[in-house]
Amino acid sequence: MEPDILTTSQAAKLLGISVRTAQLLVESGSLTSWKTPGGHRRVSRADVVALMKQTNPAVAAASAVVVVLAPPARLPLYERLLSSAAECSADLHSEALSASFAVGARLPAAVVVDLSEDNAERRGFLSNLTANPAVGPARIIVVGGPVMREADAIRGPARIDSPQDLPEALRKILVDAPELAPTGIPAGFPVPANEGQRLIALERTGLVDTAPEETFDRLTWLASQNLGMPVSLMTLLTPTRQWFKSRQGLGMSETPRSWAFCNETILQRGVFSVENLAIDKRYASNPAVAGDPHFRFYAGAPVLDRNGFPLGSICVIDYEPRKLSSEQTQTLSALAALASDEVRLRVADRELRWALTELGRTRKH
């Protein structure tokens, strides 16, 4: 007979997720648990089965995507402001129809509607959005437009005066809930305010500590060859490690997280580069700069999952100071986008296999 009481490891196996993801489900309250007199976590098999029927916890996720609907002339401003927002990935639109498709395709963390100009299409989009219960937990932010009445401000969208106020407004929305705030991360490097959600997204990919794969190795090889760099990597950032899913020109398979130049890369959505690490106060004392292997140049672009969370980067490193050309910057960004697409395909494939397994289990009963 199958046990009615499960350990966290047994629950993780039943759910098809990692033990760490199961622990996060427990900590967030999604899976009820209790402690034995000896201090060990236990969960009910009935609760695990109920959670499995609701959704696949391995793929259920928050989002870091922010859909923006704005006048065409203001889209470059939003792109600039949000490219440096650590907690989100912007999906920009000038037409209500394409914005509607974006919202429906994958429920975003927030939807931003710019009403600085009186535009019937955008006002109609906002009206439909606020009336649609399917939007669910996605937050709605209105930029400009008429000042809302007090009652509307309480039950309706949030309002800010200008696009410049948007990054801070989004940070407050996207910050980790207390129960998801990660613990055990060493001090000394920056992390996004939604780091706990980002780490769940990383766990969900199932990529950390897996064998090398030709798909990703091709991308790092292309980065090294096309950019003329001796070192190229695909990095994944765990709470304590920078682990290399693929590497060219470097013997080590990981470093402490505190060594990772990619800590800065995941705080933005463009290419992050440092022309001379030795004279940059953020990195001059980094062990990989001050000592062997004496790195001097770094450039990286974030690898994103389908919910907009940065998992790590595709990056290149040199032993001499350098500067990327605009064409090289575009190349690096394109390779990171290809890596992101591949990660999303992996997760989608696993979802399909999970759904087929669930279908088979249902038919047996």
> Looking at the predicted structure, is the pLDDT value of residue 55 above 50?
no
pLDDT at 56: 43
> Looking at the predicted structure, is the pLDDT value of residue 361 above 90?
no
Q: Is the pTM of this model over 0.75?
A: yes
Q: And the tokens for 72? A: 């065409």
> Is residue 182 very low, low, confident or very high in pLDDT (cuts 50, 70, 90)?
confident
> Looking at the predicted structure, is the pLDDT value of residue 57 above 50?
no
> Is residue 225 very low, low, confident or very high in pLDDT (cuts 50, 70, 90)?
very high
Indicate the helix (H) or strand (E) that contains 160.
strand 158-160
> Is residue 106 very low, low, confident or very high in pLDDT (cuts 50, 70, 90)?
confident
> Looking at the predicted structure, is the pLDDT value of residue 212 above 50?
yes
Distance of CA 283 to the CA centre of its chain: 24
CATH classification code of 65-174: 3.40.50.2300
What whole-number percentage of the chain has pLDDT above 70?
Answer: 86
> Is residue 18 very low, low, confident or very high in pLDDT (cuts 50, 70, 90)?
low
SS3 label, residue 113: strand
pLDDT at 200: 86
**Mean pLDDT computed over 126-137:** 83
pLDDT at 60: 42
CATH classification code of 195-352: 3.30.450.40
226-254 pLDDT, tens per residue? 999 999 999 999 999 999 999 999 999 99
pLDDT at 185: 77
**Mean pLDDT computed over 51-72:** 70
pLDDT at 153: 44
Q: And the tokens for 258? A: 């505190």
> Is residue 135 very low, low, confident or very high in pLDDT (cuts 50, 70, 90)?
confident
Listed by start position, the domains of the chain span: 5-58, 65-174, 195-352
pLDDT at 251: 94
> Looking at the predicted structure, is the pLDDT value of residue 2 above 70?
no
pLDDT at 286: 96
Average pLDDT, the chain: 87
pLDDT at 152: 47
pLDDT at 300: 98
Q: Give φ, ψ of 315 to 5 degrees.
A: -140, 160
Identify which has the larger pLDDT, 276 or 188.
276
pLDDT at 23: 73
Q: How far apart are CA 332 and CA 329, in angstroms?
A: 5
Identify which has the larger pLDDT, 8 or 239.
239
253 closest CA partner among 262, 265, 261, 242: 242
140-169 pLDDT, tens per residue? 999 997 755 443 443 468 899 999 999 999
**Which of the residue ranges 187-191, 196-200, 293-297 has the most confident prediction, judged by mean pLDDT?**
293-297
Instruction: Assess contact for 324 and 315: CB atoms under 8 A.
Output: no
> Which of 13-27, 59-73, 179-193, 197-211 is least confident?
13-27
* DSSP per-residue letters across 218-286: HHHHHHHHHHT-SEEEEEEE-SSEEEEEEEES---SEEEGGG-THHHHTTSSS-EEES-GGG-TTTTT-
> Which of 12-16, 112-116, 304-308 is least confident?
12-16
pLDDT at 132: 84
Identify which has the larger pLDDT, 172 or 136.
172
Q: How far apart are CA 55 and CA 41, in angstroms?
A: 23
The correct answer on CATH 3.40.50.300 for the domain covering 5-58 is no
